Amino acid sequence: MYISGKDKLGYINGDFPQPPETDLTFRRWRTENAIVKGCLINSMKPSLGANFIRFPTAKQVWDSAATTYFDGTDTSQVYDLRRHVTRMKQAGGSIKKYYNNLQGLWREIYFRRPNPMDCDVDIQKYNLILQEDRVYTFLDGLDDQLNKTRSDVLQLKPFPIVEQAYAHVRWEEIRQTIMTSRAEITIGMVMNSKGLKAGCHDTPMKTGFFLLEQIHLKKYRLHQME
C-alpha cells in the first residue's frame, strides 16, 4: 500500500528498470530502489527477510518472494482465515476486542473473496446473506452468560446487520455492569444502616460481601437440618 501510494510500483513490476550507472537518473533510481527494497524486507518476518536482503534490486526481492511463497492462488489463506473465524470466541474477554478481531478477519477474507455478483439486486442479496451469517458467527462466540441477549438479538425485526447486533450486545454488557455496581453499593449502604461492621477499617463493599457470606451460611445450615 505504501509503495503504491508513493507511486513506486514500477520498482517491483519492471516499469522502472535500472538505468546505466553513467545515466543522470541512476543516483535517484538507486536511492528509491533502496527505499522500496527496504519496505519489502521490513514487511517480512525477520527470519524471512534475511533470505532476500542480498538481492540488489526491489524487483528481484519481489520476484523471488512471489516464486517462493505464492502458489498461484490464495485458497490456503482464505481457508486459514475462515478457520480462525469459526474458532474465535469471547472466552471471558472484552466484547469489543472479540468483535474487532472478527471484523479484522472478515475484512481480510472479503479482500480475497469480494462480492462476485454483477447485478445490483444480486449484490444486495449476497450482502444480506453475508451479514446474516456474520451475525450468527458473532453471537455463537459470545460467552454463555449472554445467552438471553443472544436470543433477544435473534428475535429482532428486521434482522440486524452485524454492527447492529454488536451495538445491542455491547449495550446489554454495559447495563449489566451498571446494575452489578449499583447492587454492590446498595448492599454496602444497607449494612452500614444496620450497624453491621466487620471492623472499623472495613469498606461498605467488604461489609456487603460479609452479609452475603452469612446468608449463604444460614441457607446451608437450614438445608442440613431438613
Residue 158 falls inside a structural domain? no
Give me the helices (H) in the chain, please.
2-5, 10-13, 26-42, 46-49, 58-69, 75-87, 95-112, 120-140, 147-154, 162-193, 204-225
Residue 8 resides in a domain = yes
First to last CA, the chain: 73
CA–CA dist 144, 44 (Å, integer)? 39
* pLDDT value of residue 218: 53
CB-based contact 188:203 (threshold 8 Å): yes
Residue 133 lies in a domain: no
Where do we find the cell 475484512? 107
Q: Is residue 51 part of a domain?
A: yes
Residues in the chain: 226
pTM, 2 dp: 0.52
**pLDDT higher for 48 or 187?**
48
* 8, pLDDT greater than 60: yes
The cell for 48 is 524471512
The dihedral of CA 162, 152, 169, 171: what is its sign? positive
In a domain, 45, yes or no: yes
Residue 2: which pLDDT band, with cuts at 50, 70 and 90? low
Is residue 43 assigned to a domain? yes
pLDDT per position as a tens digit, 29-44: 999 999 988 888 888 8
Structural domain that includes position 24: 2-69
Is 30 domain-assigned?
Answer: yes
pLDDT at residue number 204: 47
Number of domains in the chain: 1
